[in-house]
Each structure stands twice: as structure tokens, then as C-alpha cells.
Amino acid sequence: METYLTAALLLAGFYMAWNIGANDLANAMGTVVGTGALSIRQVIVLAAGFEFLGAVFFGQRVTSTIAKGIVPIDLIGNQGEIGTQMVVLGMLAATLAAGLWVTLATFYNLPVSTSHATVGGVLGFGLSTAYLGAIPFSAINWPVMLRIVTSWFISPVMGAILGFSLFVLIRALVLHRVEGDVEKYFVPLQVLTACYIAFAHGSNDVASAVGPITAAFTAFGIIGKEVPDWIFVFGGLGMVLGLATWGYRVIETIGSKITELTPSRGFSAQFATASVVLLHSYISLPISTTHILVGSVIGVGLAGGLSSVDLSVIWKIFFSWIVTVPVAAATSALIFLGLEGVGV
Amino acid sequence: MAAKYERSVIQVFGRPPFLPLEEHAKKAVISAGMLKKTVRAYLDGDMEKVELMAAELGKIEEEADYIKQTIRSGLTSSVKLPVDPKLLLNFLSEQDIIINDARNAAYWMKLREYRELPPEIRGGFLELSEKTEETVKKYYTLIEKLYKLVTLSFSKKQIVEAFEIVPDIEKLEHDTDKIESRLHKQIFRNQETLRGAGVCHLTELVEKIGDLADRSVSSADALKTMVIRR
């Protein structure tokens, strides 16, 4: 049974990683192609390398938050074999629920976040264990949950403020002072921000793929307290594969449509996004890179950097994440209770 | 259509209005050029060609209207622009009138045929239509220049420099005014041969052709107001 569950967990985690690479990473990289700084092939190679580095070397903090920061898996896992089984099935349910929701949302082009879905899935599992009486409701780490949800509000605003300020600064210091075609100086800079944004993305989003399976493997005793590197390598590979097998199409779509994002504007939006994402990886909070990118682009647009930005997308994002957490949580709880019920 | 397995940030980028604005301006230049040819055909008494050209101008006007509607529908309240959308629409309708004026002038020519016009009136009309086209062309260089600046994160200094073309447009418009008044005088001098209806028709035609130059100036003014108040 353990072998089957391990395989199921790895598959589910890999599917999530693939999805993240295919869409979220592709979005972050698409803006680089849009400015014409790099070709799609170059972007994929750079993104693959830096996404992988970010995941392996800076993915621990957020992964640990998803794995044990929200639901006290030690408390459940310590309850003998039943406890172990609960954690394993619960984390499998969380990943499956998140994967299902992200798949559905992607078909309908809803701007949902994989991080939100995973947090929702894990929360759904935690609430189910409390419902079954394994832990009290108060054992769920509500303060951490509150910090995470608050960061979902604040992080896109931070992206907007940073993007706005950066572009205003660049315009005042560079664009309006230097004669001739200034934009060309931002092309090499954009190669750097492409690496930066891929690294930041890897460091935060790998957790959505490997956070739950880390918790399950810890309960199984497959891994110890320290999360081994191979888990992050596994997540990193999944995301890179997602980018290479599917993400290039998303990059093409974005690249061909964002024609007015000049190198200086793209630089401002990407630099702002990467910085805000990396900050959240540092303070162990799982956030949505896509939402921060949207925030940063709006910031640059409001600074007069773009000829038009459509603010109606803010409501779509707001609505999609208001829905994501309860849906992922409920689906996760249903899958978990179902698996428990059939006595896997 | 099969669902696309894609989630993207593309929705945040509103439809940029500047690209179609330039396309719309191009229609104005094409119209002015075509009007010049229509005047030539008219003076040669080739009414068949005049009819054809008038139909063609009507088509261009429709295409321009379509572009105008596209720009308008892209300006929903959720879309934020670096310029005041009211001023943008104001500028757009000024530019649109240039195209309408060309169509109206061609229509006016269709209404009355002349067997032979005195050579000074003939020459005056040729000169007028040429100067008018020149004015619209000059106006278009301003649009082109600004469009390049918009795509390249322009500076205020560069914008002010671009508007240095405006006095040139005004000068050309002033020249067309002079040709207009000269033509008016010549028409009245020939009132015996042209007769009442002819005088009435030709003076109106002078106005209609000259309108293109007048509109180029007011369009440039509207553009300046829009960009400077940014």
C-alpha cells in the first residue's frame, strides 16, 4: 500500500509542478518575449536553469509553511499508524484537489493561483481531521493562515507600488535625460530580470508542488525533519518540463499580444515582480507570482508607461481567488473523507 | 472551438488606442490624395472617374469609421490611459472630419458638370487641391513622429519638439486660405458665363476642399491639448 500511495503522491505532485511550469512560469517569462529581448528558445533555457536553481536552493521556507505551517501534521502523525495514514491521504487529497481546480480554471482561463489552491487544499484536509476529532479546530495554525491570506492582498499592491516607482524613476533618470534610443540599454538588463524572475518564481512556487508530498513523506518516515534536496529537484524538474512541453505556447500567446511592452517597461514590471516574490519566499509565505505580475504591470501602466491597462482584471482575480480557497478546501475534504471512508 | 489550456495575464493589457489612431490618420492622408485626383478628373470633365473616385472615398470613410468605433469601444471605464479619454475622443472626431470632408467634396463634384471652365479657375482648383493635400500630409508627419515617441517612452522635451511642426501646418493652411479667396474672386468675375447655379456650386466646392486643411489644423490642436495635458 505504501508503495502505491508514494507513487500516487509523486504523480500528483509532478502534475501540479507541470501545471505551474506550463502556465504560471510561462506567464512570468512571456513578458520577456513580448519585449523582444530574447527569443522563446533562449527564454526557455534561461527560465529552466534559474527556475531550477530557485526551487532547489531557495524553496525550503515556503515548502515548510505548506507542509507543516498550516496544519500540525506532527500532532496528527504522532497518533500511530492511523495518524500517519491520515497525513498521507490528506496531503494526497490536498494535491489532487488543487490539481483538479487548477486544471478546470485553466480550461476556462480564470486567473487562479496554484499557491492559493494548494493552501486551500491543505486547509481542507486540516479542517477534515478536526471534524473527525483527530485534532481540535484550534490546533490549525490560524495566525499563519491569516498572514498568508493577508499577503495575498498586500503582495500585488506591493508589486504595483514597486512597478510604478521603478518606472517613474527610470523615466526621470534615464529616458528623459539620455538622448537617442535609450530602450536598447534595457535589453541586456532584461536578460538579467528574466533570470531573476525565474529564480524567484522557482523559490516560491515549488512549494505548491512539493509542499504536501513533503508532509506525507515525513509522516511515512521516507524523509526526516530536514527536507532533502531531491524533493526540490523533483519539483524543479516538473516545472521545467511543464514550461518546455506546454509553457512555450503560453509564452507565444503572451509574447505576440503584448507588443507595447518596451524593454524599460518590461524591466520595471519584472524587476518589481521578482523582488516581491523573492521577499515572500524569504518570509516563508506562499503567494501568487501571476497576481503580483498583474499588480506590477498595472503599476507601470498607471505611471503612464503603457498606453492602456484594463483594471477590470482586478475583479476577475479577486473573484477567482475568493472562490479558489473554499473550492479547493471542500474538494480536498471530500477526497480525503472519501479515501478514509473506503479504508485505503 | 476547443478550449485552450492557458491561463494568462494578457487581460490586464487593454487595447492600446494609439496604433489604430495612426491607422486612422493614414486614411486622412489617403483621402486627401484621392481628392486631388478627383479634382483633376473633374476639371478634365471625366465624370465617370469622378463617380468611381467618390465611391472609393466613401469606402475609405467607412473603413475609418470602423477604426473609430474600435477605438471607442476599447475605452471602457475600467481601461486606464495615460491621456484623458475625453480629449482622445475629441481629437479622434476632429481627425475623422478630415476624411468626411474629402468624401463630401467628391460628392459635391458629382452634382454638377461643366463643359469648360475658365483656365484661371481650373488652375486655382488644381493649386487648391494640391496645397490641401500638402497640409494633410504635413499633419500626418506630426502623427507619425508622436506615434514613434509614444512607443519609445518619450520625454516631455521630445514631445514639445514634435509639436514644432504645428506652425508649418498652420502656414500651409493659411496658404490654402489665400488660394481660396483668390478662387472666390475669380468665380465671381466669371459669373456671367458660369451663371448663378455655377457660381453657387463652385464657391461651395472651394469651401469643401479647403475644409480638409482647416480640419488638419484643428486636429493638430486637439492632439496637442490631449498630449500636453497628459
Q: Which domain holds residue A228?
A: 2-327
All three cell numbers of B23, joined, read: 491607422
- Rg, chain B, Cα only: 21
pLDDT band at B153 (very low <50, low <70, confident <90, very high): low
Task: List chain A residues with CB under 8 Å of B150.
Answer: 307
Residue keyed to cell 481546480: A101
Residue keyed to cell 533618470: A173
DSSP lists the bridge partners of residue A309 as: B13, B80
Does any domain span residue A341? no
Does any domain span residue A336? no
The per-residue DSSP string of B106-155 comes to HHHHHH---S---HHHHHHHHHHHHHHHHHHHHHHHHHHHHHHHHHTT--
Does any domain span residue A339? no
CATH number at residue B217: 1.20.58.220
Residues B189 and B100: their CA atoms lie apart, in Å, by 30
Residue B1 has pLDDT above 60, yes or no: no
Interchain contact A107–B (C-beta under 8 A): yes
- Rg, chain A, Cα only: 20
Question: Half-sphere exposure of A268 toward its Cβ, with a 13 Å CA cutoff?
Answer: 32
Q: Please tell me which of the candidates A106, A254, A307 has its beta carbon nearest to residue B5.
A: A106
Q: Which of A257, A308, A319 has the most B C-beta neighbours within 10 Å, making it the best mutation to test the interface with B?
A: A308
Do strands B79-80 and A309-310 pair parallel, antiparallel, or not at all (unpaired)?
Answer: antiparallel
Residues A238 and A6: their CA atoms lie apart, in Å, by 17
Q: Please tell me which of the candidates A107, A109, A310 has its beta carbon nearest to residue B13.
A: A310
- When comparing pLDDT for A318 and B65, which is higher? B65
How far does the CA of residue B206 sit from the closest CA of chain A (Å)? 39
Does any domain span residue B1? no
> CB within 8 A of B135, min separation 6: which ones?
B32, B169, B172, B173, B176, B212, B213, B216, B217
Query: Does the beta-carbon distance from A290 to B4 stay under 8 Å?
Result: no
How far does the CA of residue A36 sit from the closest CA of chain B (Å)? 14
CA torsion sign for B31, B36, B39, B45 is negative
Query: Does the beta-carbon distance from A108 to B3 stay under 8 Å?
Result: yes
Residues B196 and B192: their CA atoms lie apart, in Å, by 8
Does any domain span residue B4? no
What's the residue count for chain B?
Answer: 230
pLDDT band at B154 (very low <50, low <70, confident <90, very high): low
Residues A129 and A315: their CA atoms lie apart, in Å, by 33
pLDDT at B103: 97
pLDDT at B2: 43
Q: Which domain holds residue B73?
A: 15-228
- Across all residues in chain B, what is the average pLDDT? 90
The residue of chain B nearest to residue A316, with distances taken between CA atoms, is B11
Task: List chain B residues with CB under 8 Å of A108.
Answer: 3
Average confidence (pLDDT) over B142-167: 79
- Read off the DSSP letter of residue A177: T
> CB within 8 A of B2, min separation 6: which ones?
none
Interchain contact B88–A (C-beta under 8 A): no
What's the residue count for chain A?
Answer: 344
CA distances to B72, B193, B200 from B196, rounded to whole Å, are: 44, 9, 6
Instruction: Cite the DSSP H helix spans in chain A.
Output: 2-19, 26-34, 40-58, 60-64, 73-77, 80-107, 114-131, 142-170, 186-220, 229-242, 248-257, 263-282, 289-300, 312-342
Counted domains in chain A: 1
Instruction: Identify which of A100, A88, A86, A105 has the alpha carbon closest to the alpha carbon of residue A15.
Output: A100
Q: Are A324 and A149 in contact (CB under 8 A)?
A: no
Residues B121 and B110: their CA atoms lie apart, in Å, by 18
Instruction: Identify which of A74, A331, A334, A96 has the alpha carbon closest to the alpha carbon of residue A213.
Output: A96
Q: Are A289 and A114 in contact (CB under 8 A)?
A: no
CA distances to A29, A254, A291, B10 from A249, rounded to whole Å, are: 12, 9, 20, 13
Average confidence (pLDDT) over B66-78: 89
Average confidence (pLDDT) over B24-30: 96
Residues B203 and B214: their CA atoms lie apart, in Å, by 16
Interchain contact A211–B (C-beta under 8 A): no
Q: ipTM of this predicted complex?
A: 0.73
Taking only the tens of pLDDT, chain A with its 344 residues reads: 788 999 999 999 999 999 999 999 998 888 888 777 788 888 899 999 999 999 999 999 999 999 999 999 989 988 888 899 999 999 999 999 999 999 999 998 888 899 999 999 999 999 999 999 999 999 999 999 999 999 999 999 999 999 999 999 998 888 777 766 777 888 888 889 999 999 999 999 999 999 999 999 999 888 888 889 999 999 999 999 999 999 988 888 888 777 778 888 889 999 999 999 999 999 999 999 999 999 999 999 888 767 788 888 888 888 887 899 999 999 999 999 999 887 65
Q: Which of B1, B5, B6, B7 has the most A C-beta neighbours within 10 Å, making it the best mutation to test the interface with A?
A: B7
Residues A223 and A214: their CA atoms lie apart, in Å, by 8
Counted domains in chain B: 1
DSSP lists the bridge partners of residue B79 as: A310
The residue of chain A nearest to residue B159, with distances taken between CA atoms, is A176
How far does the CA of residue A337 sit from the closest CA of chain B (Å)? 30
pLDDT band at B155 (very low <50, low <70, confident <90, very high): low
